Structure 1
Amino acid sequence: MARRFETTVQLLRHEVLVEVARMAMSGTVERDKEMIPYVVVQGKRARFRCCVYKERAVVKQRVELACGIGVDGTEACKSGELIQVLETGCDECPVDRFTVTEACRGCISHPCMESCPVDAIIQINRRAYINQEKCIECGRCHSACPYDAIADTQRPCIRACPVNAIDFGEDKIARIKKDKCIYCGLCALRCPFGAIADVSCIIQVVEALKKKDEAPVHVVLAPSIVAQFEDLSMEQIHGALIKLGFAAVHEAALGADMILAEEAEEVVEKVREGSFLTSSCCPAFVQIIRKHFPELEDNISTSVSPMIAVGRYVKKHHPDAVTVFIGPCIAKKMEARQSDRNDAIDYAITFEEMLALFVASDIEPAECTPVPLEQSSVFGRAFARCGGVGEAVAQAVKEYNLPLEVTPVKCDGAAECVKALRMAKAGRPPGNFIEGMACVNGCVGGPSSFNHKAKAKRMVDEHSKKAILKTITEATSILK
C-alpha cells in the first residue's frame, strides 16, 4: 500500500520492519536477515549518510532491534530494555551547549560576562569567548545578550527528554539513564538521525498468527488509530486486521469505560481525605511520578489502563487467546511487561509495526471487507486526546451520582506534567484530578504514530461523536 511518511527516518524504520515481517512470515529471518541492509540500501551511492557502508551498518542495528535483539546482543524484548541508542547511527552531536556566534559585536557593557555566575566568559580580540570547562550551562548569557549572539545548540535528544534521562560519554554518543527514563519515546521521535529506536516483537506476533488455529489472536486497538488513515474507515481497518489473521478486534476505548466507575469513586475518596488523584492510563506519566515524584505515588489512580482492562476481559472470556495491543505508544510495551500487569497483554506493537504487517502481507485495507466496530462510549473514545480523561472522570462522577465537583486539569505533554506535579509536591495541586499525557495532544501525538498533523485531535473527536452509546453506563451495561 502506498503511503507518504512524515520523515525519512520514519520511512527507513518502515522499510526495515517490512523486510523483517516478510522474512518472519516465510520463516527465513535467521537465514536471511543479514541481507536486509543490502535490500534497504542498494547501489553504491549513499542516500543519507557519508557512505553506503555506514548506512548499512545502521540498518543492521535496526534489523536487530526489529528482531527483538538489543545492541548488546541480548533479548531486549525479555530484558525490558525497550528504547536503545544505535551507536553507529548517533552523529555525536556537539556537546558544548552555549557558543558565541559571529553575531557578537564586542559591546562595551558585556552583559554576557556580567550575568555569568562562574566567570566562564572572557573577551578575546573584542569578542566574547566561553570557557567550556567552566561553563555550567545555566543559560544566563544566552538570555542577557542583546544581539542574540550566544547560540543554544542543545542536542535534540536531550532537549526532547522531559526528565533529563539522556547524557553522553567521552565518545559523545548519547546514553539513556535507565533509572530516569520514562519510556515516552520522545527522544526517538526527535532524533534527526533516527539513532534512538524501540525494540520490536513483530516476529513474535507473526509467529502467534501462524499458530492461530491452536490459540486465537485477539487485538486490543487504541482509539487513536482513527487519526492514522485519513482515507479509511474504522470498519475497513478492522477488516484488514481480520484478514491479517486476528480472530477479533477489541476497542481499547471500551476499557476506558470499564475503569471509569472505579476511578470516579477513587477521586471522591481522595478529595474527602483532602488530597487529589492523578490518572493512570498513560504509562509514561505514571513513570514520571514513580521515578521523579515518588512522594506522590499514593495519588496515582489504582485503576488499570484501558489496555490492561480490555486485555484481562479478553483473557477471562477466551483463556487460550493471545492478546496483542496496537497503538502509538512505546511506553505501552513497557507497561505490558510489568510484573503486576503481564497477565493481560502478550505483545504490544505500534501503528508503524501494524502498517509493516499490512505491507508485508500485501493487504490493502481500502479493499478489505468492512467489519463492524465494538461499541464504546463517546467518553471512552475521547481518552485518545488530551483532556478526554478528565472529561470522562467528571462525567462518571455525574452518572454515578457521586458527591463531588471534579476540577480536572489536563497536562498536555510531559513538560506540563512535570510542572503540575511540582505544584502538587509543593502542596498546591492545580486541580483535584490531574490528567497526565506525556505526548502533546495525548495519544494521537504518540512517538509511533505516522500522522502528527494538527487535525489528528479533531479526527478523534469526530470518531467519538459517532459512538452510538452516549454514556459510560450504556457502554458498560453491554458487558454484563
Structure 2
Amino acid sequence: MTENREIFQEKRMDIFRELVQSFWNEGIQNNSDLENLAAHIQNKYEFKDKDMSLIRNHMRICMGLDPRGDTEFSSELSDIKSKKISPPIAANVENPHESDKHCNGRCKYEDPIYRRNNEPIIIDNKCLSCGYGVSQWDFGAIADKIEFIPLIDLLKDKNTPVYAAVAPAIVGQFGDDLSMGQLRTALKLMGFTDMVEVALFADILTIKEAFEFNKLVKSKEDFFLTSCCCPVWFNMVKKSYPDLYKKMSPSVSPMIASGRVLKSLYRNAKVVFISPCIAKKGEVKEPDLEGAIDFVINFRELKEVFEALKINLKDLVPDDIDQASLGGRLYARTGGVSFAVKTAVNRLEPTRVIKLRAKKVDGVKECKNILEDLRNGKDVDANFIEGMGCAGGCVGGPRTNIDVDVATKNVNEFGEESYILTPFDNKNIMKILENFGISDLEGIMENEMMVKLLTRE
C-alpha cells in the first residue's frame, strides 16, 4: 500500500509538472491541446488505453477542477478562467459522483531597519478536513485539487498585485543551504509582487491572544483554548466539543489574518498561501473566512513548479529581510504558539498572579484526549491549551518536503536568527497598524476595523 501511494504521488506530480510547463508556455489553447497532452502523458509514463479516463480526471484535479467521469475535455479552459477553486478540496477520481526586481510595495507592512541586504473526504459533519485521508489512497482513488494552474494568468498580469504569504514551516523545505531571501527572489521572478511571512501576522495574533488570556483567565479554574494555526484542532473543538468551544479564542488563523490585512492595504490584491497542509485548502473556503485567501499551494506542489519552470534557487541572489519575531516563526512547530503567547502575557502583565501554564498536544489522538479530559473535568495542570493536528505541528504536515525533525531544527534556528525577539519588538506591526490609524498595540483589541480583520464572525 505504501509503495502504491508513493507511485501515485510521483505520477500525479508528473502530470502536474507537464500541465505547468504547457500552460506557462501557452501551449494549451483549446480542448484538442488538452487531449494531445493526455496522450503524451499516456505514452511518456506508459499508461494503458484503459487509463485515459483516469489521466483526464487527474489532469482536471491538477488544474483545480472536479473530475467528470469518462468524458473528453470540453469546458475546462473556461472553468479555469473563473479563477476560483470550488469545494470540496478533494475528489474521488474513479467515481466523481460520490464524492520590477525589488518591490517597493512592502512599505505598508515592513520597517526598513530589518533589511539585511540592499538588493479526507467530507463524509459527515464530523470530518476534520485534515487532508491525511487524501494521502492514504492509491493512485486512481482520491486526490486533493491543485490550485496553481488558475493562478498563472494572474502572475503574468502586471496590473494585479499577487502576494505569496508563506507559512512559518517553509524554512528549509527547498534545501538546507537555501535562504528565505532566495525563495523570495524566486517567487518574484515568477510574478509575485512579494513574499510575506505569515509569521508576521502570527505576531499580531500573539498579542491579541495575550490580551484575551489576561481578560478571560482570572482564577485557577479558568482555561483558554488557542484557535491559532490549525484548522484540524479548531474543527475538532467546534464540531465535537461545543461545550468547550466557548473557551476558544475567536481569533482567525495567521493565514486568514495575512490575507485580510494585505487586501486591506493593497487594492485588488490577490493572496496565495504557501503551506505544508491540505486542510488549509478547506479552511479558506469556509463561509465566514472565504475571500481572505485566493489560492493555497503546498510545499510539494511549489517544488514541482520550480522544477517545471527551471528555477534554480541556488543560483539566485537573496533578498533577505526580517518580518517576524522568534515567537511568530516558532508557530510552525508544536509548542510555538504557547511559547509566543506566554512571552507576550508576561510582557503585558509581569506581576500577574495566575501565570500562563501551557499544555501542548499534537496529533489527532492526543488532541482528542486532552479535550476529553477537559470535558470530564480532569485536572490537566494547564490554563492555556494548544492543539496541533499533525505530529510535530505544521512541520509535520502531509505536504512537506523534508523530515519533521529536520524541519523543526530549521524553524528553531530561523527563529533565533531574527533581529526581532518578541512581537512587542516588531516594528513591522506598528507599520501595519499605522495604516489603520492605530498608534499603540492596544488598538489591536479596540480598533473596529482591526478587530473585524482578526476575528471570526
TM-score band (shorter)?
Answer: 0.7 to 0.9
How far apart are the structure 2 equivalents of 1:41 and 1:202? 22
So what's the TM-score if we normalise by structure 2?
0.78
Q: How does 1:428-439 map to 2 (within 5 A)?
A: 428=378, 430=380, 431-439=382-390
> Does the 8 Å contact 2:57/2:93 carry over to 1?
yes
Match of residue 24 from structure 1: 23
1:72 Cα deviation after fit: 5.0
Match of residue 40 from structure 2: 39
How far apart are the structure 1 equivalents of 2:92 and 2:233? 22
Q: How does 1:47-196 map to 2 (within 5 A)?
A: 52-53=48-49, 55-72=51-68, 78-87=85-94, 176-193=122-139, 195-196=141-142
Please, which of 391, 406, 419 is the counterpart of residue 455 of structure 1?
406
Instruction: Tell me how many residue pairs correspond in the alignment.
Output: 385
How far apart are the structure 2 equivalents of 1:429 and 1:84? 42
SS in 2 for 1:22: helix
How far apart are the structure 2 equivalents of 1:288 and 1:72? 32
SS in 2 for 1:299: coil
Show structure 1 runs of 5+ residues with no match.
Answer: 1-5, 47-51, 90-165, 167-174
SS in 2 for 1:411: strand
> Does the 8 Å contact 1:24/1:207 carry over to 2?
no
Match of residue 408 from structure 1: 358
1:192 Cα deviation after fit: 4.8
Q: How does 1:191-340 map to 2 (within 5 A)?
A: 191-193=137-139, 195-211=141-157, 213-230=158-175, 231-272=177-218, 274-280=221-227, 281-340=229-288
Note closer, same or farther for the CA distance 1:21–1:43 as it changes in structure 2 (3 Å cut): closer
SS in 2 for 1:441: coil
SS in 2 for 1:272: coil
Match of residue 383 from structure 1: 331
Note closer, same or farther for the CA distance 1:242–1:347 as it changes in structure 2 (3 Å cut): same
Which amino acid in 2 is paired with 1:341? L
1:187 Cα deviation after fit: 1.3
Show structure 2 runs of 5+ residues with no match.
Answer: 70-75, 97-119, 435-457
Note closer, same or farther for the CA distance 1:252–1:29 as it changes in structure 2 (3 Å cut): farther
Match of residue 292 from structure 2: 344
> Does the 8 Å contact 2:174/2:401 carry over to 1?
no
Note closer, same or farther for the CA distance 1:410–1:53 as it changes in structure 2 (3 Å cut): farther
SS in 1 for 2:387: strand
How far apart are the structure 1 equivalents of 2:383 and 2:376? 14
SS in 2 for 1:421: helix
- Greater helix content: 2
Instruction: Give a deviation string over 1:81-114, Cα, whole Å, max 9, x none.
Output: 002233379xxxxxxxxxxxxxxxxxxxxxxxxx
- Which is worse superposed, 21-30 or 385-394? 21-30
CA RMSD of aligned residues (A): 2.6
1:56 Cα deviation after fit: 4.4
Note closer, same or farther for the CA distance 1:29–1:201 as it changes in structure 2 (3 Å cut): farther
How far apart are the structure 1 equivalents of 2:370 and 2:37? 46
- Which is worse superposed, 287-296 or 249-258? 287-296
Match of residue 96 from structure 1: none
1:317 Cα deviation after fit: 1.6
Note closer, same or farther for the CA distance 1:86–1:180 as it changes in structure 2 (3 Å cut): farther
> Does the 8 Å contact 1:329/1:447 carry over to 2?
yes
> Does the 8 Å contact 1:57/1:88 carry over to 2?
no
SS in 1 for 2:133: helix
Q: Which has the larger radius of gyration?
A: 1
1:35 Cα deviation after fit: 3.6
Note closer, same or farther for the CA distance 1:7–1:463 as it changes in structure 2 (3 Å cut): farther
Taking CA–CA contacts closer than 8 Å with sequence separation of 6 or more, which of the two structures ends up with the larger relative contact order?
2
1:198 Cα deviation after fit: 0.9
So what's the TM-score if we normalise by structure 1?
0.74
> Does the 8 Å contact 2:200/2:323 carry over to 1?
yes
How far apart are the structure 2 equivalents of 1:78 and 1:45? 30
Note closer, same or farther for the CA distance 1:467–1:8 as it changes in structure 2 (3 Å cut): farther
How far apart are the structure 2 equivalents of 1:442 and 1:462? 16
> Does the 8 Å contact 1:420/1:429 carry over to 2?
no
Note closer, same or farther for the CA distance 1:234–1:85 as it changes in structure 2 (3 Å cut): same
Note closer, same or farther for the CA distance 1:332–1:45 as it changes in structure 2 (3 Å cut): closer
How far apart are the structure 2 equivalents of 1:447 and 1:305? 19
Note closer, same or farther for the CA distance 1:229–1:429 as it changes in structure 2 (3 Å cut): farther
> Does the 8 Å contact 1:311/1:323 carry over to 2?
yes
1:78 Cα deviation after fit: 4.5
**2:369 equivalent to 1:427:** no
How far apart are the structure 1 equivalents of 2:255 and 2:407? 21
